Amino acid sequence: MAAKRKTPVKTRNPDLIRGVGKYSRSKMYHKRGLWAIKAKNGGVFPRHDPKPKAPAAADKPPKFYPAEDVKKPLLNKRKPKPTKLRASITPGTVLILLAGRFMGKRVVFLKQLTSGLLLVTGPFKINGVPLRRVNQSYVIATSTKVDISGVNVEKFDEKYFAKEVQKKKKKSEGEFFEAEKEDKKKLPEGKKEDQKAVDATLIKSIEGVPELKAYLAARFSLKSGMKPHELVF
């Protein structure tokens, strides 16, 4: 193939309507400059010999034929879109967790990760919720916002929260019947430092608002007479 141009050329023959170009064949011949190319080549359009093709590898007969014809699955080129974040959830929003170990806890939203999960922190010193991922569907967004401008959350991504791969240890017969001596999984110091760094600025801005610290420390629960569909969060 001839060398590709840096920018693809717009068609020199604009459409008058679909299927009908503005210029005729002879005009287009002139516009494309085929006469100049021919003139350079002595009246004949230049012809290049085809490049020598690399010899194709000899096809071996397959060593296995399935008993019945196997259907090939259809090609799927679908790319899932990133999870849409609810408009009520912005960085600094106080969220109420609805399920899991921290059910009912009010936490501060930091950012949405690439997988669509929300990155959230207690802060740890206030209500015991660490830097954690949480699904948007298991969360109520309140209209209370915390100032989150001083917090740097760039370094947290999906890889930070990936499970550590355990190396499998081969057990001998005798050891099988012993109680499994599992080392208690300790939190790496790095993660503790990250938590402290994020929480330091957050706690300062939380203490600036009266009673917000006690609010985040308390759990949410439905009391008698509260109708969730009538409550304003």
Partner 1 sequence: MPFKRYVEIGRVALVNYGKDYGKLVVIVDVIDQNRALVDAPDMVRGQMNFKRLTLTDITIDIPRVPKKKTLIEAMEKADVKTKWENSSWGRKLIVQKRRASLNDFDRFKLMLAKIKRAGVVRQELAKLKKENSS
Nearest to 196 by CA among 111, 124, 122, 147: 124
- Minimum distance between the CB of residue 211 and partner 1, rounded to whole angstroms? 6
Among 71, 170, 214, 229, binds partner 1 (CB under 8 A): 214
Q: Which is nearer to partner 1, 125 or 145 (CB)?
A: 145
Task: Give the whole-angstrom CA distance, residue 140 versus residue 95.
Answer: 6
> Which residues inside 135-154 make contact with partner 1, applying CB under 8 A?
142-144
Among 96, 117, 153, 203, binds partner 1 (CB under 8 A): 96
- Minimum distance between the CB of residue 209 and partner 1, rounded to whole angstroms? 9
DSSP the chain: -PPPPSSPPPPSS-EEETTEESS-HHHHHHHHTHHHHHHHTTSS---PPPPPPPPPPPPPPPS---SSPPPPPPP----PPPPPPPTT--TTEEEEE-SSTTTTBEEEEEEE-TTSPEEEE--HHHHS--SEEE-GGGEEEEEEE---TT---TT--GGGGPPPPPPPPP--HHHHHSPP-PPPPPPPHHHHHHHHHHHHHHHHHHHTSTTHHHHHHSBP---TT--TTT---
Instruction: Enumerate the β-bridge partners of residue 93.
Output: 145
Q: Name the one range near partner 1 by CB under 8 A: 118-126, 168-176, 200-208, 211-219.
A: 211-219
- Minimum distance between the CB of residue 232 and partner 1, rounded to whole angstroms? 6
**Structure tokens that stand for 46 in this block:** 């230049």
Q: Name the one range near partner 1 by CB under 8 A: 20-28, 128-136, 162-170, 207-215.
A: 207-215
> Which residues inside 22-81 make contact with partner 1, applying CB under 8 A?
none
- Minimum distance between the CB of residue 219 and partner 1, rounded to whole angstroms? 11
The reply to whether 98 sits near partner 1 by the rule CB under 8 A is no
Q: Which is nearer to partner 1, 29 or 233 (CB)?
A: 233
Among 211, 225, 228, 229, binds partner 1 (CB under 8 A): 211
Q: Which is nearer to partner 1, 35 or 233 (CB)?
A: 233
> Which residues inside 148-187 make contact with partner 1, applying CB under 8 A?
none
Among 37, 103, 218, 222, binds partner 1 (CB under 8 A): 218
Binding residues for partner 1 (CB under 8 A): 94, 96, 106, 142-144, 211-212, 214-215, 218, 220, 230-233
